[in-house]
Amino acid sequence: MNTKMQRNGFLVVLGATLILLVGLSSSGSSFWQGIFINLGMYIILVVALNLSNGFTGVFSLGHIGFMALGAYISAILTLPLDKKASYLPDLPGWLAPVHLDMMIGPFPLGFLLATLIAGVLVTLIAVVVGLVLMRLSGHFVAVATLGFLVIVRVVLINADEFTRGSHTFSNVTAYTDLWWVYAWVFIALIAVWRLKFSSYGRAMFAQRDDGIAAQSVGIVIMRPRLLAFAVSAFFTAVAGALWAHYLTSFSPKAFYFDLTFRVITMLVVGGMGSVTGSVVGPAVITAIAEALRRLEDVTLLYGVSQIVLAVLFIVIIVFRPGGLMGEREINFAGLWQRLRFRASVAQEGSAAEP
């Protein structure tokens, strides 16, 4: 009964999201579309980071490195041949003739393939990196993953023939739209949700709560950690691919501390360990940041939004250290009961009055 209610609640949210997306895409307002595309990409980044940092407690600061790799790999793959020859003339022979820009009618199949290839390659990199780094815990893993982020940046800047170095990589086809982003949001949320409520998720949370106890019930700590890290890297790379084909031009600068800490802020505000929180966090931060940006334009106090966001972050950390959702998920059954209770109270009240 509870699961049925949860399922119905989920379908309502899904329906409402679909209606919103149809409305947005038919409205033609590029401003609102842009906000929701950005929001969607942040949701993917945050829920992916949650899987690794929140569920397993192995705090990675290097995920944006996976995003950068996803962006560059997919962008190189989808670049049309004519642009490739002039734009990246030094590509090695095996890569130069690759151009995943084919379409099936209006559907950019090449973009899908490039996204998946980028995701899989980055997952493999994450497995290799993870086999070393997931042995660490606490500050050590934070510093080591930060090192990974720095390494990725240095590699991107120096691999000129692939990335044009520190120059802007542009001419990327703008495939990413609302539907692409929210299809991936849907897949990422479902995947992470299902992992959370499975044997894998329980192993992740158990080894986070007490590593020795987890081993004593047969959990090999490396396995849940590595799985979380790898799946997390996959979706982070997908977000990178979406980002690349939305912005259409970017440089290694885009994927560094600034973005790293914005995503971590959203994660912490939403609640580490909560899939719902990974939607709430980005939504709250995006809404406040947008509102403050308007305020800046009016008052001409530029920079005030950064300060307000920082203060807000501190307030949340102090008063709700677990974030807005903690580890809990939205409970449709409970929500429904509460609404019914309120309705019945209101009815009794109005019935008693006359």
Instruction: Using CB under 8 A, list all residues that contact other proteins.
Output: 191, 194-195, 198-200, 202-203, 205-206, 209-210, 212-220, 227, 273, 327
| C-alpha–C-alpha distance, residues 162 and 181, integer Å | 26
Nearest to 30 by CA among 245, 239, 178, 250: 178
Between 30 and 216, CB nearer to other proteins: 216
Cβ at position 230, least distance to other proteins in Å: 10
User: HEC string of 237-262?
Assistant: HHHHHHHHHHHCCECHHHCCHHHHHH
Four-CA torsion 295, 300, 303, 306, nearest 10 degrees: -10
- Considering the complex, state which of residue 59 and residue 255 has its C-beta at the smaller distance from other proteins: 59
Nearer to other proteins, 164 or 196 (CB): 196
CB of 289 to other proteins, least distance (A): 31
Q: Which residues are CB-neighbours of 243 under 8 A, at least 6 positions away?
A: 41, 67, 71, 176, 250
Q: Which is nearer to other proteins, 158 or 337 (CB)?
A: 337
Residue 280, classed as helix, strand or coil, is: helix
Alpha carbons 282 and 268: distance in angstroms, whole number: 10
Rounded to an integer, what distance in angstroms lies between the CA atom of residue 192 and that of residue 88?
37
Min CB(246)–other proteins separation in Å: 26
CB of 209 to other proteins, least distance (A): 4
Q: How far is the CB of 231 from other proteins (least distance, A)?
A: 9
Task: Compare residues 87 and 200 and give the one whose CB is closer to other proteins.
Answer: 200
Residue closer to other proteins, measured from CB, 174 or 220: 220
What is the closest distance, in whole angstroms, from the C-beta atom of residue 202 to other proteins in the complex?
A: 4
Q: What is the DSSP string of 6-58?
A: HHHHHHHHHHHHHHHHHHHHHHT-HHHHHHHHHHHHHHHHHHHHIIIIIIH--
